[in-house]
Amino acid sequence: MKMTKVASTAAAVLCAAAFMVPTAAMAVSAETTAPTFVSVGEDVPSWNVVSFTGDQYVKVGSNFSFSVNVGSWVKNASYQWQVANYGSNYNWQNISGATSSTYTTTMTSSLNGAHYRCVVVDNDRNRTENTAARTVSSNAAAAKLGTPVKQSDGYYKIPLTITGLKDNSISSFCPKFNVSTSSIDDIDFEYASNWTQKGDNCGFDFFQENNPVDTDGDGKTDRVDKVPNIYRLQYATVMQTTTLGSDNVFGYLYVKPKSGVSTLEIKMAEDDKASLYDDNKYEGTLVYGMSYTGTTIGGSSSTSTVPTNIQVAYSTDYHQVRFTWDKDSGADRYGIAV
């Protein structure tokens, strides 16, 4: 209907692996294995670090930690954690007293976008290695399904908005939609921007969640079942940063209830961490803290012609009243009666 199709799942995964990690920060959103280097004239590897903590979202006032793990061949290691503030072009500064394999501190607003790394020395072999940069972010965003509006073809069009983004921009966002499979005839998704055209980059997809099944216990998948009630976007904006418009609409969910279904609840969650990265504009990978609000088809929520979140402000200086509200998808004008 209104969805863009992916060429193949394998292609999407391949492209994500090739392009999701920014070069400058080597940032990823999970604990990762350090790159392998060839050892010269020794029987042990030439690197010290085998894994370290990934990029993080941390709420202001909460504690966060970074840890580094060295290989078993490193018998006499020393550590020095460093920090570089956002916008400093990775101007690394030693953190006083941060000389163990784990560093813990408290998130402040001034640390939003800051980078951390650890200098690890194998004193026995006189080898020094800097871990890649990791970024902490306190950017809290919110994804919300708006008011469903019934279309002439029986589908309900539901806007998905995201607020709280840095520069209103996002690079990776993979939401899941939880809606009763037995209660719908079809479900689809349409992106609000034209950066998701078929054939661009790796392609994009919207599908029902898969569940690989190993029936005989041999460690191999014998069949793939569809998971009831769960649909998701796959790498919705991966590899291409997009900036939302002033209406904050990321895209539109289309749901067609079965005949006789009067009420249908739709919930939303995230399949992976939402993030922002752009080597030309941002340092590192900013991981968003995301909250979710679903919606309901049926009852007053799907037929209401009254906008939601109506706010009234009064100016005592000019004796004026200002009304503001959330945009109602499909409306081109509003009437106010006082």
Per-residue confidence of the chain (338 residues) as pLDDT tens digits? 333 323 322 222 223 333 333 333 333 333 444 444 434 445 789 999 999 999 999 999 999 999 999 999 999 999 999 999 999 999 999 999 999 999 999 999 999 999 999 999 999 999 999 999 999 999 999 999 999 999 999 999 999 999 999 999 998 888 889 999 899 998 888 888 755 443 344 445 677 777 777 777 888 877 777 778 888 876 555 557 888 999 999 889 999 999 999 899 999 988 778 999 887 788 899 999 999 999 999 854 444 456 666 767 766 666 777 777 766 655 667 777 66
**Cα 148 to Cα 17: distance, rounded to the nearest angstrom:** 36
Q: Give residue 92's pLDDT.
A: 98
Q: Give residue 190's pLDDT.
A: 84
Q: Which pTM was predicted?
A: 0.69
**Three-state helix/strand/coil letters over 38-76:** CCCCCCCCCCCEEEECCCEECCCCCEEEEEEEECCCCCC
Q: Give residue 211's pLDDT.
A: 76
Domains of the chain with CATH codes: 28-132 (2.60.40.10), 139-303 (2.60.40.680)
Q: What's the start-to-end Cα distance of the chain, in Å?
A: 42
- Residue 311 dihedral angles phi and psi, to the nearest 5°: -120, 145
